[in-house]
Amino acid sequence: MLLLAVTTGLRVSELMALNVGDVRNGKGVRTVVTLRPETTKGKVEGEIVIPEKTRRKLVAFLTWKERHTESLDDDSPLFVGRGGGRGGAVRGSRLSRRSAEQLFNLWQRRAGLDRVMNFHALRHTFATRLLRSTGNLRLVQRACRHANVQTTTVYAHVTSDDVARATDDLGW
């Protein structure tokens, strides 16, 4: 779940809205996933690209779901809860946005991180890493599905180290 978030820039609500059929392509996983408008911010259809390494992990995850008798029907939720939580969720029902956020916080605390980040930080990480890799703000805008490039600049964090590396690369 976290790998898919950080390698695609999906918002937590979009991630939780994914169905098995959205990502599965026969026995494999799609490279390009079309997001249903009702699941996106602004209710606009969008696309995400799933990197090869993430696709391999998703194939393994779908195999795990099958072994644990979770539904692989196209309209079944990709991520499901174990049930029994305070919200009264039933085992196998779609994992809620709030539950995903709470799990992310729990995993960070268990990992001993000094600072616990919110789930949306994964989207910022995606945008920042993509900008560092490509240097192309318009490409990052498209990958994040932002209507306005100004929004993208908020996500793409540039550090002093980035500036130092870039100026060193000028070769002066």
Kindly report, residue by residue over 87-128, the tens digit of the pLDDT.
555 667 999 999 999 999 999 999 999 999 999 999 999 999
| Phi and psi torsions of 47, nearest 5° | -125, 145
Region of poorest pLDDT, from 36-40, 114-118, 151-155, 157-161: 157-161
Residue 45 has pLDDT above 90, yes or no: no
What H or E segment, with its residue span, contains residue 47? strand 46-49
Residue 84 has pLDDT above 60, yes or no: no
Q: What is the mean pLDDT of residues 40-52?
A: 90
Q: Is the dihedral of CA 9, 14, 20, 25 positive or negative?
A: negative
CATH C-level class of 1-116: mainly alpha
Q: How far apart are CA 143 and CA 1, in angstroms?
A: 18
Kindly report, residue by residue over 64-82, the tens digit of the pLDDT.
999 999 999 999 999 998 7
Question: Crossing angle for the helix pair 137-144 and 121-134, nearest 10 degrees?
Answer: 150
Q: What does the mean pLDDT of the chain come to?
A: 90
pLDDT confidence band for 34 (50 / 70 / 90): very high
Q: What is the pTM of this model?
A: 0.85
Residue 48's nearest CA partner among 118, 137, 145 is 145
Contacts (Cβ under 8 Å, ≥6 apart) of 155 = 123, 124, 127, 128, 140, 144, 146
**Would you state the pLDDT for residue 165?**
82
Q: How far apart are CA 107 and CA 123, in angstroms?
A: 17
